[in-house]
């Protein structure tokens, strides 16, 4: 294992949508949303905004934080569930905006675990000597695929982006252990059905709302806690690190009750867990880099500390990365 995070950045669109705003859209209440999810507000990308703006701003910050220029990158990995276009995805638009020249890029689709998957892929490519310095972006405009009439989903999500620069590191620094898993039998739990080649968009699919993101919330909830616990423990074992030596856990921000249950099962106090779901809701692939960036900037997370990043998401996918930051 031989790569570390050189620079980090994030972006949240300015428009705030509060629980009170949602009370005016669907039959819900601020109290229900707070108690059942821990969410108070979220950011929403304006309808007329180009979603690329989120990746651009997060990447520029990450480059600045890492003290390097875009010309020094040699790969872009863009983790997202809902790309700018089904084809060619999102990465080309960000590469164009950042003027990345002829370096390779690709979209990575692994549900809300996309950022963790991206870290493992980037680390492996650096370890294999293929690339030196990789830009990994997690960006999601979930508001664009949300059914704003469905109270079971619309209260949960928000928009945002996070980006990191990953580069070769001396042994013992950066990524120390990883764990990646998935279970295709649970593919039905989180889905946007229409618009792919299995169910192309038609008048019928639109009338049936099959172009919106849907999920089996309760089933996801049950699996989420065990998947993140399993991966975190496996990544720690692979790294040869004891739980007692961990400074921070940064879990995917899907529901405060999932995060609390994870803390309980791992026997880690909540004050060692980074939480920002109250302010940004579930931002999917952006959730971990957003939380990491925020806690790094406000001084909670410091260089040299041991972090566990863990996520789960559509697929279902799950995983964890243990790193010396």
Q: Is 80 among the residues that bind ligand COA (CB under 6 A)? A: no
**Per CB under 6 A, which of residues 30..49 are in contact with ligand COA?**
32, 36-37
Q: Which of 72, 199, 221, 233 is the binder for ligand COA (CB under 6 A)?
A: 221
Rounded CA separation 145/176 (Å): 36
Q: CA angle 19-23-27, nearest 5°? A: 125
**149 touches ligand COA by CB under 6 A:** no
CA separation for the pair 308, 223 (Å, rounded): 19
Closest alpha carbon to 213 in 80, 103, 101 = 80
Is 181 a known active-site residue? no
Q: Is 252 in the active site? A: yes
Stretch that binds ligand COA, among 28-36, 67-75, 90-98, 299-307 (CB under 6 A): 28-36
Q: Give the number of residues written for the chain.
A: 325
Residue with tokens 């995983």: 319
Among 112, 120, 165, 259, binds ligand COA (CB under 6 A): 112
- Of 279, 278, 273, the C-alpha closest to 300 is 273
| Residue nearest ligand COA (C-beta atom) | 217
* 160 belongs to the binding site for ligand COA (CB under 6 A): no
The verdict on 283 binding ligand COA (CB under 6 A) reads no
Catalytic residue list contains 154: no
Peptide bond between residue 38 and the one before it cis (omega within 30 degrees of 0):
no
248 vs 40, 163, 255, 303, 322, CA distance in Å? 23, 19, 18, 12, 10
Identify which of residues 56 and 112 has a Cβ nearer to ligand COA in the complex: 112
Nearer to ligand COA, 224 or 275 (CB): 224
Cis peptide before 322 (omega within 30 of 0): no
Taking the least distance from each CB to ligand COA, the nearer of 83 and 177 is: 83
Residue 217 binds ligand COA, judged by CB under 6 A: yes
Q: Is 223 in the site for ligand COA (CB under 6 A)?
A: no
| Active-site hit among 19, 81, 84, 112 | 112
Q: Which residue has the tokens 């969410």?
A: 39
DSSP-derived 3-state class of residue 192: coil
Give residues in contact with ligand COA (CB under 6 A).
28, 32, 36-37, 112, 151-152, 155, 190, 215, 217-218, 220-221, 224, 254-255, 282, 313
């Amino acid at each position: 294992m031989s790569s570390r995070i050189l620079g980090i950045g994030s972006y949240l669109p300015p428009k705030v949508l509060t629980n009170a705003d949602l009370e005016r859209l669907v039959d819900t209440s601020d109290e229900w949303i707070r108690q059942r999810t821990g969410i108070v507000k979220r950011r929403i990308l304006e309808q007329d905004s180009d979603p690329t703006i989120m990746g651009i701003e997060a990447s520029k910050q990450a480059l600045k934080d890492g003290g390097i220029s875009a010309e020094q990158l040699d790969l872009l990995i863009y983790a997202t569930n809902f790309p700018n276009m089904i084809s060619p995805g999102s990465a080309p638009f960000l590469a164009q905006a950042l003027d990345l020249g002829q370096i390779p890029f690709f979209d990575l689709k692994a549900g809300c675990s996309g950022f963790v998957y991206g870290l493992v892929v980037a680390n492996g490519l650096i370890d294999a000597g293929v690339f030196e310095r990789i830009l990994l972006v997690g960006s999601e405009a979930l508001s664009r695929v949300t059914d704003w009439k469905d109270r079971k989903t619309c209260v949960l999500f928000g928009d945002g982006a996070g980006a990191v620069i990953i580069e070769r590191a001396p042994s013992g620094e950066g990524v120390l252990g990883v764990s990646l898993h998935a279970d295709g039998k649970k593919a039905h739990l989180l889905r946007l059905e229409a618009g792919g080649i299995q169910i192309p968009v038609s008048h019928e699919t639109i009338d049936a709302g099959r172009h919106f993101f849907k999920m089996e919330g309760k089933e996801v909830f049950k699996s989420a806690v065990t998947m993140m616990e399993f991966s975190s423990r496996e990544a720690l074992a692979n790294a040869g690190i004891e739980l007692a030596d961990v400074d921070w856990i940064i879990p995917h921000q899907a529901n405060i009750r999932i995060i609390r249950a994870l803390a309980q099962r791992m026997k880690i106090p909540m004050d060692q867990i980074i939480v920002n779901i109250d302010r940004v809701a579930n931002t999917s692939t952006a959730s971990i880099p957003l939380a990491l960036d925020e806690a790094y900037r406000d001084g909670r997370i410091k260089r040299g500390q041991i972090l566990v990043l863990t996520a789960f998401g559509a697929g279902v996918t799950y995983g964890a990365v243990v790193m010396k930051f």
